[in-house]
Chains A and B, each alone.
Chain A
Amino acid sequence: MKRNLILIFSFLIFVSSIFAQEVRMKYEDWQREMASWTAKRDELRGRLDALNSEIDALKKQLADKDAQIKQVQDDIYALVGTTPEGVNEYRQKVADFERRLNELSRLSNEELYERRAEVENLYNDYQALKSDKRVALSEFYDKVMGFESQVNNLINTVKALVKTKEGQVVVAEAIVKETTYTVGTWKKDRDCLWNIAKKPTIYDNPFLWPKIWIANRDKIKDPDLIYPGWVLKIPPKAELSKEERRAANSYYRKKAEKAAGGM
């Protein structure tokens, strides 16, 4: 009996205390909770204030960095004497030049020969692009300098193209790079330095014969005497050098003296 009473008593206390907790809060607990949450709120307010200060400082730092970036950018523009608009204009020029270069590079020799004036203009435009201060900007430097070999190849090829009597366009190899020529017989080939230089596939210009003479001084002691079977070096087509001109003048002088002596 007693045991039953104790059990019922405990049960009632338990049920009533649960009921009270669920619906109502003890004042002491409220006070404790208030103190704990107030402390938490105060700590968070402090953190928020600190964060706001840090963010303000970071924003200021960012604005300073932007100003520094603008200053250096302006310095760079000043060095090459341009503005952002000027850079855009040069970018457009480079793009346009690249398009023309690629277009001309794809042409056949015949087409190139017909459009050689365009190639020459392109070459001149390249010199202008290269001498523009804006080329010093990294965006353009490697690209524009990289065009050089392509432009040179193109202009050299165009200079080397010759039209034969039959109307065919051929590359005079000797003009592009040093090559060799095997002397034929006078009877069959009419080979002398003058005639060799005159060939469209050599220089297409007989007055350049001293180039062949000077390049083959080891063989040719007298430019009037060359022998069938000799393999002559043919230097690339170019204006006569000082040495070649001097040698040619000396030859013509001796020839004139000889002629005058013979008379």
Chain B
Amino acid sequence: MPRKIISLFLLFSFVILFVGCTKYAKQEEIQQLNNLKAEVEQLEKEIKAKEQEKASLQNEISQRDQKLKELQSEKEKVQQRLQQLK
């Protein structure tokens, strides 16, 4: 029985030693990583907003193209009608 307890104690000590010898990141380093993750998250949001802005601008440009086309056609029609009205 005491042998068993000693074995267990040794085993436990070994485990603690094993875990305690591993090198871990410091608190500031963890904070640095968290800041980096937050920055990435912020950048992703900004990119999403910019992509929406880009899509909206492209849409506006296509509307302007359509309007320009209509106005050019209107100009031609006005010229023809003025000829007819003379």
Contacts and interface: CB of A to CB of B under 8 A. Distances in A.
Interface residues of A, number: 52
A30 B22 CA distance: 13
Interface string B23-36: 11100011011001
Given A26-B24, A27-B23, A58-B57, A9 B36 contact: no
B26 to A, nearest CB: 9
Interface string A114-146: 000000000000000001010111100100000
A203 B65 CA distance: 60
Interface string A39-79: 01100110110011011001101100110110011011001
A65 B43 contact: no
A65 B78 contact: no
A137 B16 contact: no
A240 interface: no
A66 B7 CA distance: 86
Given A27-B23, A65-B64, A44 B71 contact: no
Interface of A: 1, 5, 8-9, 12-13, 16-17, 19-20, 24-30, 33-34, 37-38, 40-41, 44-45, 47-48, 51-52, 54-55, 58-59, 61-62, 65-66, 68-69, 72-73, 75-76, 79-80, 131, 133, 135-138, 141
